[in-house]
Amino acid sequence: MFIVSNLPACAGVGFKPEHFRDILAAPQPLGFFEVHAENYMGAGGPPHAQLGALRERYTLSVHGVGLSIGSMEPLNREHLMRLKLLCERYQPESFSEHLAWSSHNDIYLNDLLPLPYTPQTLARVTEHIDEVQSALGRQMLLENPSTYIRFSESTIPEIDFLTEVSKRTGCGLLLDINNVFVSAKNHGAQPLAYLDSFPFDRVKEIHLGGHDEEVDEVGGPLLIDTHASPITEAVWSLYSHVIARAGALPTLIEWDNDVPDWPTLRHEATLAQNILSDASCASAA
Amino acid sequence: MSAMPAQFEMSFADALLNADRPVPCGITAHNAAIPTRRFAVYRNNVAVGLRKALQSRFPVVEKIIGEEFFAAMALVYVREQPPRSPQLTTYGDELPAFIAAFEPARELPYLADVARLEAARTRSYHAADATPLGADHFAGFDTDAVAGIRIDMHPSTEIVRSPYPIVTIWAMNSGEQELAPIENWHGEDALISRPSPQVEIRALPPGGAAFLLALAAGLPLGRAAEAALAEEPNFNLTGNLAGLIGSGLVRDIVFPQPKK
């Protein structure tokens, strides 16, 4: 059996334990919650008690950050089995991971690191996603990365790379619009041009989050993907553009650091939901 | 000529963990041939991310030595013993041993044991769930049978023995107890367990740790009591047994096989 990613085309929120009481206190007008897989790989305890309660009430998306799909080394089988166990336990409506690597030589570096885009890395990523999907018995979504540097050996544009992986493996794409904005600014490119050539028909989820702005040594913008602040106006406007073109899509608000109180986070989700609702009304009219 | 597929990864990873390495070859930016500042974002992400993982697991150690000292120590630890698994909730199991041998922390001989307590606390937090047996399960045994039973301990049970008052130090630095000079400086054995959703930490009475460790090793109750008595002549079996049950440490009772 192959379970296809299936989130509702509504706004959802990345779950943080500090919001658990607020969330359970009243029904939340949200399409889904998303959790980081690696936080729920212990045997038991409060994390599972909370996730169980959340799962009973809401649609669930499991988002991995440690599988290292973009690595040239073999996947960590133990970690893949932990993911499988988690998916079997909670039966999430969707599972997603990143076009990035995070482990090398058995060392886990705890960051989403970039890879060159070449025929060789394309073949490797394809193999890894085939392996993940067959181990989990489900379709996964692959997220476009936020990057700060480029590789001189890259020969394939990022969108072509993602599209080809999706074609070869049947994986869906997770379009992180904040990542698009961060990467475009960091590489002196236009985020709108990137988005306008993105294969929206393969997108099954959108991520929105905040970033920090710094400068590099020559005074150029250096945007950092921190998920520690509200979504910027520029990213909201790109999001509206995407929804107007692609139609309503499941949309997650990510706020992982300097986590705000629950009403502040829910407000961001309401803003996204308003944009989604406008799109649904427009298409119905 | 393109590089071998894995070469970018090796030089990248190496330069991340060693700040004195230059930006690896083949890494560029649209406005700089050698994007030092941009590469530093990755370096910083790795260092800060792993330090935060340790901070969240060892908050009392950080409180005792201060943020700056902890950050400097974490930097050395991360370089010497980077995580081997993406499951970061288990990262830092070796930090207590590292602290014990860490020269700059030598003036705080109890620090390693406080770290052992904190590592045990997280293990207990993530341990498998189980419903502890209630006191009624222990009623009506005859005395001979009691000596032969074995206890299947709750999976969240952890014991940390120390020649320092680690439970008091932990309580005072975690907000459980008011910070004050410790008048009676003596060793404390910590019992860490999670019979309810919350992890509980308490100091064991004399002989208690020997008793529980013997039970956890699979010895029958009678032998465990002997082990405790060898350490503490005034060991109170009834009181410790009641404590064992009352603290929710018993997942199951295993009765001896009847003699043929």
Here the ipTM equals 0.94
Task: Give tens-digit pLDDT for A122-133.
Answer: 999 999 999 999
Is B6 close to A186, i.e. CB distance below 8 A?
A: no
Is A149 close to B29, i.e. CB distance below 8 A?
A: yes
Q: Can you list the alpha helix ranges (DSSP code H) found in chain A?
A: 20-25, 46-57, 77-90, 119-136, 158-169, 177-186, 191-196, 233-246, 262-284
Task: Give tens-digit pLDDT for A57-83.
Answer: 999 999 999 999 999 999 999 999 999
DSSP structure string for B109-154: TTHHHHHHHHHHHHHHHHSPP-PPPPGGGGTT--HHHHHH-EEEE-
Write the class of the CATH domain A11-284: alpha beta
Give how far B176 is from chain A: nearest CA, Å.
20
Strand partners, B160: B190
User: Residue A195 in 3-state DSSP?
Assistant: helix
Of A39, A101, A188, Cβ closest to residue B30: A188
Q: What is the identity of the amino acid at A27?
A: P
Q: What percent of chain A has pLDDT over 90?
A: 95
CB of A36 closer than 8 Å to CB of A63? yes
Task: Give tens-digit pLDDT for B75-118.
Answer: 999 999 999 999 999 999 999 999 999 999 999 999 999 999 99
Tokens standing for B7?
A: 């070469």
Instruction: Name residues 151-210 of chain B within 8 A of A (Cβ).
Output: 155-156, 194, 197
- Report the C-alpha gap between A109 and A121 in whole angstroms: 19
- Report the C-alpha gap between B243 and B229 in whole angstroms: 16
What is the helix (H) or strand (E) element at residue A104, kind and residue range? Answer: strand A101-104
Across all residues in chain B, what is the average pLDDT? Answer: 92
What's the distance, Cα to Cα, between the start and end of chain A in Å? 38
User: Residue A62 in 3-state DSSP?
Assistant: strand
Residues 6+ apart with CB under 8 A from A77: none
User: Residue A161 in 3-state DSSP?
Assistant: helix
Nearest CA to B115 out of B82, B50, B160 is that of B160
User: Which of B12, B18, B56, B77 to probe by mutation at the A interface, max A CB count within 10 Å?
Assistant: B12
User: Residue A279 in 3-state DSSP?
Assistant: helix
Is B27 close to A216, i.e. CB distance below 8 A?
A: no
User: Residue B41 in 3-state DSSP?
Assistant: helix
Please check whether residue B138 touches A, CB under 8 A: no
B140 torsion bin: left (phi>0), alpha (psi -120 to 50), beta (else): left
Predicted pLDDT at A1:
63
Q: Which residues of B touch A152 (CB under 8 A)?
A: 26-28
Tell me the pairing of strands A203-209 and A251-254. parallel
Please check whether residue B15 touches A, CB under 8 A: no
Q: Which residues of A touch B16 (CB under 8 A)?
A: 109, 111, 113
CB of B111 closer than 8 Å to CB of B61? yes
Domain map (residue ranges) of chain A:
11-284
> Residue B223 pLDDT > 50, yes or no?
yes
User: Which of B23, B87, B91, B157 to probe by mutation at the A interface, max A CB count within 10 Å?
Assistant: B87
- Report the C-alpha gap between A66 and A63 in whole angstroms: 10
- Report the C-alpha gap between A103 and B46 in whole angstroms: 11
Is A107 close to B82, i.e. CB distance below 8 A?
A: yes
Q: For residue A19, what is the DSSP state?
A: G
Give how far B181 is from chain A: nearest CA, Å.
33
Nearest CA to A89 out of A136, A125, A132 is that of A136
Of B16, B39, B89, Cβ closest to residue A42: B89
- Report the C-alpha gap between B216 and A218 in whole angstroms: 62
A97 torsion bin: left (phi>0), alpha (psi -120 to 50), beta (else): beta
Predicted pLDDT at B143:
64
Task: Give tens-digit pLDDT for A29-57.
Answer: 999 999 999 999 999 999 999 999 999 99
Q: What is the identity of the amino acid at A130?
A: D
> Residue B4 pLDDT > 60, yes or no?
no
Please check whether residue B6 touches A, CB under 8 A: yes
Q: What is the identity of the amino acid at B169?
A: I
> Residue B138 pLDDT > 80, yes or no?
no
Across all residues in chain A, what is the average pLDDT? Answer: 96
Tokens standing for A207?
A: 């991520």
Task: Give tens-digit pLDDT for B153-209.
Answer: 999 999 999 999 999 999 999 999 999 999 889 999 999 999 888 999 999 999 999
pLDDT band at B5 (very low <50, low <70, confident <90, very high): low
User: Residue B12 in 3-state DSSP?
Assistant: helix
Tell me the pairing of strands A101-104 and A107-113. antiparallel
**Half-sphere exposure (CA, 13 Å, Cβ side) for A174?**
29
Q: Which residues of B touch A72 (CB under 8 A)?
A: 5-6, 9
Tokens standing for B179?
A: 């910070």
Is A79 close to B9, i.e. CB distance below 8 A?
A: no
- Report the C-alpha gap between B193 and B202 in whole angstroms: 9
Tell me the pairing of strands A32-36 and A11-14. parallel
CB of A164 closer than 8 Å to CB of A124? no
Is A104 close to B129, i.e. CB distance below 8 A?
A: no
- CA B77: distance to chain centroid? 16
Q: Which residues of B touch A44 (CB under 8 A)?
A: 126-130, 155
Determine the longest span between alpha carbons in chain B, in angstroms: 85
Of A46, A76, A153, Cβ closest to residue B3: A153
Q: Which residues of A touch B88 (CB under 8 A)?
A: 38, 108, 110
Tell me the pairing of strands B150-153 and A203-209. unpaired
Give how far B103 is from chain A: nearest CA, Å.
26
Q: Which residues of A touch B32 (CB under 8 A)?
A: 216-218, 220
CB of B54 closer than 8 Å to CB of A110? no
Choose between B19 and A102: higher pLDDT.
A102
Task: Give tens-digit pLDDT for A233-284.
Answer: 999 999 999 999 999 999 999 999 999 999 999 999 999 999 999 987 665 5
Tokens standing for A201?
A: 């028909």
Residues 6+ apart with CB under 8 A from B23: B15, B34, B35, B36, B39
- Report the C-alpha gap between B130 and B124 in whole angstroms: 12
Beta-carbon pairs below 8 A across chains A and B:
158
A27-39: burial string, b at 16+ Cβ within 10 Å, e else: ebebbbbbbbbbb
Is B84 close to A106, i.e. CB distance below 8 A?
A: yes
Cβ neighbours, 10 Å, residue B241: 18
Please check whether residue B18 touches A, CB under 8 A: no
